[in-house]
Amino acid sequence: MSDSDFTDKVVVITGAGGGLGRSHALEFAKRGAKVVVNDLGGSVDGTGASDSAKQVVQEIEAMGGTAIANGDSVADKEGAKRIIQDAVDAFGTVHILVNNAGILRDRTLKKMDMADFDLVMQVHMNGSAYVTKAAWDIMYEQRYGRIVLTSSGSGIYGNFGQSNYGAAKMAMLGFMNVLVLEGRNRNIRVNCLAPGAATRMIASIPGRDIDPDNPDPENHPRLVSPAVLFMCQEEAPSGVVINAARGNYSRAQIFVNEGVKLGVDATYEDLAAVGERLLDMTGAAPRER
């Protein structure tokens, strides 16, 4: 991959006022991209606001890059449209969208107020859908687009106390799988990132000894960003999930076993009798679209 893959590309990154999003923004800008840095500037739970997006823009400009700031919320339909419209107004189009914005409202399901469940789903899943829809029409017409959805190990593998966050993050895979099919003939490639790094969000989880202002070099957000750029290059894959943490990168994929064929007269008793075969993943293969 050459730096020219991103020269003059217009890149929109949500939640880019710090942490992973900031790192992504800096890496794209270093390679000549024109970056829209979106961030409401709120806290990890989604409350409040700040000028964090403007601060990242200043960093980019100080190193000779090109960027603008946007402070809209991805969870607001009109705000999501404005994020993309700002890119069009400033730079003429949008080539790459990285959906990174998110919040946490961690509780076990027993203790959770369902308003917190709804809000996390609204920001992560709906917010990603709102911004993606606003960019999709542009990408579809220009026959070019690269989209990254940010999933998480909490969704793919599970994490105690994060039913809302995990549900939203696993939903990204379903969203991706459909968009891959719908964008295939228009050169729109869609992938999922499952990151791990020392960020404010991770530091807020009880028991995590992390200083997001001084991240461990081995757990730095910048070590996730190579995976994002890889999924946005000219020869990007489509429909893949990449785990990225501590300089380690791997692909996660759904596998399906051979299963059992019981026919149209199948009963519960029939299935129970071959339960071990049903659950046996020996010889399982990737599920192809």
User: Which two structure tokens, joined as six digits, stand for 210?
Assistant: 């992390």
- At residue 176, what are phi and psi to the nearest 5 degrees? -60, -45
Q: What angle (nearest 5°) sits at the alpha carbon of residue 5, between those of residues 126 and 238?
A: 45
Please, are residues 22 and 212 in contact by the beta-carbon 8 Å criterion?
no
Kindly calculate the radius of gyration of the chain based on its CA atoms and give it in whole angstroms: 20
Count of positions (residues) in the chain: 289
**Of 130, 144, 157, 165, catalytic:** 165
Residue among 9, 4, 38 nearest 21 (CA): 38
* Strands, E assignment, the chain: 10-13, 34-38, 66-70, 96-99, 145-150, 188-196, 241-245, 248-252, 255-256, 285-286
- Is 165 catalytic? The answer is yes
Give the pairing of strands 285-286 and 255-256: antiparallel
Q: Is the dihedral of CA 114, 116, 119, 121 positive or negative?
A: negative
β partners of residue 68: 36
Return d(Cα 28, Cα 192) in angstroms, integer.
Answer: 18
Quote the crossing angle between the two packed helices 52-62 and 19-30, to the nearest 10°: 30
C-alpha to C-alpha distances, 238 to 60, 130, 168, 183, nearest whole angstrom: 29, 20, 20, 10
Active-site amino acid positions: 165
